[in-house]
């Protein structure tokens, strides 16, 4: 009796074949966070008359970039953050470049600190996010004041910071569920 010397594939029966349809499904699942930001930016640019609609647009984008940059950076690469920031800039009415720059800075911080942030608890991560949300809102307020060549009321900036900090827990719960289900490229 002759023994076979070739080693069998370890997971040949478990892993599905890499087809075009599966590759497309994996790409769509990986792009879900970016598509979510773009969809919300377009939806919230419509004149619904919701109080704080522009601030909510920025808050959703910032929360999404922060969460995905440290929890699954493959789903939110720097190019996707740039494109999301560009879409939010196109559909927002703030000073040009502030949202894009804020999102890129938030991405850089979260991506650079991702190992430390992933070990922290939710409350500590939320506090760190809150500091950056306040700084980004202050940055936007300062640029609006420079653009208007006047000292404007900081109330809209404070409202934007409070709204961004306030929606973070609910969006995090949605993203944690999405990371396990529809936005998981490994389940394609």
Q: How do residues 21-49 score in pLDDT, each as one tens digit?
A: 888 888 888 889 999 999 999 999 998 88
Q: To the nearest 10°, the Cα dihedral for 111, 113, 117, 118?
A: 60
Q: To the nearest 10°, the Cα dihedral for 82, 136, 172, 92?
A: -60
pLDDT tens-place string over residues 57-105 = 999 999 999 999 999 888 899 999 999 999 999 998 778 889 999 999 9
Q: How many helices (H) and strands (E) does the chain have?
A: 8, 0
d(CA 79, CA 81): 5
Instruction: Give the pTM.
Output: 0.85
């Amino acid at each position: 009796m002759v023994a076979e010397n070739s080693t069998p594939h370890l997971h040949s029966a478990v892993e599905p074949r890499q087809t075009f349809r599966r590759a497309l499904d994996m790409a769509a699942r990986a792009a879900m966070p970016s598509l979510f930001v773009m969809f919300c930016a377009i939806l919230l640019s419509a004149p619904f008359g919701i109080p704080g609609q522009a601030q909510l647009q920025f808050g959703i984008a910032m929360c999404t970039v922060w969460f995905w940059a440290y929890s699954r950076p493959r789903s939110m690469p720097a190019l996707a953050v740039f494109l999301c920031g560009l879409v939010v800039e196109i559909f927002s009415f703030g000073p040009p470049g502030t949202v894009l720059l804020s999102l890129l800075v938030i991405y850089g911080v979260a991506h650079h600190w991702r190992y430390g942030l992933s070990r922290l608890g939710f409350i500590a991560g939320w506090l760190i996010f809150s500091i950056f949300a306040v700084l980004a809102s202050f940055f936007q307020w300062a640029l609006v004041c420079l653009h208007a060549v006047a000292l404007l009321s900081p109330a809209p900036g404070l409202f934007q910071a409070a709204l961004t900090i306030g929606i973070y827990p609910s969006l995090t719960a949605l993203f944690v569920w999405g990371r396990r289900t529809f936005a998981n490229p490994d389940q394609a």
